[in-house]
A and B are shown apart, each in its own frame.
Chain A
């Protein structure tokens, strides 16, 4: 016996709010919701209204694709733009320290093979990348661990460990401003399709798919928040809500949790497939790592 969609949504909203909001909710003086969150951020409309697009946003808009930067408040954008204000650059600095740190049985550091980290400029734009020797695609994270194990004979770093986040952020930052241009031919095609299927699959207690927010309603408000197009060009990203930096896979996990769905392990093939589909979908957007988001 199906519940009406309204009831289901209301129930879902309650679950969503209770589980996802240990912190503040939209609250006026009385603790009651602001009646019109839709009007709360007129700059979004102003920013997106053609033809008056803010020139500063132009690099973050490619055709119909809009980076999450475009949907962020000006204060959050300012935080991303300044290297001291942007806490993500602390991870870049940590990565720099690790780049020259000798580890493992071979007595090597990253720098032993690659020289200065600037040699990584432009490398991240083609990731995830097909690795024939492994017969699978590798993310930047996986490539780093491949180097650690194969070339350095060191232990791989765990997904979401401070070290792997720092190194991934450092390497992607070397491609900051360059357009994402992953290969989409050969065996990558199959992974794009696999990620696409996941993106459109209804999941969890809310019975939603990624597209219900990010394709159907980007730029619109969900409560007080502006939905984005779900682009991946800024990861790893510093999220104000996390009070820290995290990977794309952690963000995907958060999304599934918010949909009240089972999550996959970080680094799993499901998240890699989604990463590949989303990278293809956001093709051409500039890498912003480390970005700053709400």
Chain B
């Protein structure tokens, strides 16, 4: 269960140069807002994913800053334009400092 929080990502394996494609991603995280109580009535400490950084071949292309109103097990989709073959890195960070990363590769043709 080491990869319990490994984000799931879907990007096309190949795309034509200039094509705009969707990136869909989801990560398993409780997004504790700090007001929920556990079975014994103790407040579960706040810990949410508050940041996402997306890099395309090392360059910042998309990002997000999140509050407590993002649902548990966050889902997000956005778009990127296929310019060159390479890597798309997604890095989610939560308030405890935990980092969840994935790297997807895409081949751009033409």
Contact-size category for A: 10 to 19
Smallest CB-CB A-B distances: 10 pairs: A243-B72, A87-B73, A84-B24, A90-B28, A84-B10, A84-B26, A85-B75, A84-B8, A97-B3, A94-B1
* Closest Cβ–Cβ distance, residue A172 to chain B (whole Å): 19
Interface string of A237-257 (1 = CB under 8 A from B): 000000110000000000000
Given contacts A85-B75, A87-B73, A244-B72, contact A93 B24 (CB under 8 A): no
How many interface residues does B have (CB within 8 Å)? 18
Q: What are 20 contact pairs spanning A and B, CB under 8 A?
A: A82-B24, A83-B8, A84-B9, A84-B10, A84-B25, A84-B26, A84-B77, A85-B26, A85-B75, A89-B8, A90-B8, A90-B26, A93-B3, A93-B6, A94-B3, A98-B1, A243-B30, A244-B30, A244-B72, A244-B73
CB nearest to A82 among chain B residues: B24
With A84-B77, A85-B24, A166-B1 given, name 19 new contacts (CB 8 A).
Answer: A83-B8, A83-B10, A84-B8, A84-B24, A89-B8, A90-B8, A90-B26, A90-B28, A90-B73, A93-B6, A94-B1, A94-B3, A97-B1, A97-B2, A98-B1, A163-B1, A243-B73, A244-B30, A244-B73
Say yes or no: is B65 at the interface (Cβ < 8 Å to chain A): no
Q: What distance in Å separates the Cβ of A95 from its nearest Cβ neighbour in chain B?
A: 10
Contact B25 A94 (CB under 8 A): no
Q: Known contacts A84-B9, A94-B1, A97-B1; decide if A243 and B71 are in contact (CB<8 Å).
A: yes
B4 and A94 form a contact (CB under 8 A): yes
B contact patch SS: loop
Binary interface profile of B, 16-60, with partner A (CB < 8 Å = 1, else 0)? 000000001110101000000000000000000000000000000
Asked if A162 lies at the interface with its beta carbon under 8 angstroms from chain B, I say: yes
Say which residue of B6, B28, B77 sits within 8 Å of A87 (CB atoms).
B28
A90 to B75, CA, bound (A): 12
- Residues B68-91 near A (CB distance < 8 A): 71-73, 75, 77
Determine how close the nearest CB of chain A comes to the CB of B93; give it in whole angstroms. 18
CA A141 to CA B71, docked complex, whole Å: 29
Which A58-82 residues sit within 8 Å CB-CB of chain B?
Answer: 82
- A242 nearest in chain B by CB position: B72
Report how far A84 CA is from B77 CA in the complex, Å: 10
CB distance from B2 to the nearest CB of A (A): 8
Chain A, interface SS category: helix
A87 touches B26 (CB 8 A): yes
A90–B27 Cα distance when bound, in Å, is: 8
Q: How far is the CA of A166 from the CA of B71 in the complex (A)?
A: 21
Measured between beta carbons, the chain A residues less than 8 angstroms from B30 are 243-244
CB proximity of B21 to chain A, nearest CB, Å? 14
Looking across the interface, which residue of chain B has its beta carbon closest to that of A92? Answer: B8
Nearest opposing residue in chain A for B23, CB measure: A84
Contacts of A93 in B (CB 8 A): 3, 6, 8
Alpha-carbon gap, A125 to B10, bound state (A) = 29
Looking at the assembled complex, report how far the CB atom of A82 sits from the nearest CB atom of chain B, in whole angstroms. Answer: 7
Given A82-B24, A93-B8, A243-B30, A87 and B3 contact (CB-CB distance below 8 Å): no
Nearest-neighbour CB distance to chain A for B49, whole angstroms, equals: 14
Question: Which residues A200-256 have CB closer than 8 A to chain B?
Answer: 243-244
User: What residues on B are CB-neighbors of A97 within 8 Å?
Assistant: 1-3
- Name which residue of chain A comes closest to B71, CB basis: A243
CB-based nearest B residue for A244: B72
Which chain A positions have C-beta within 8 A of B26?
84-85, 87, 90
Which residues of A have CB within 8 Å of B2?
97
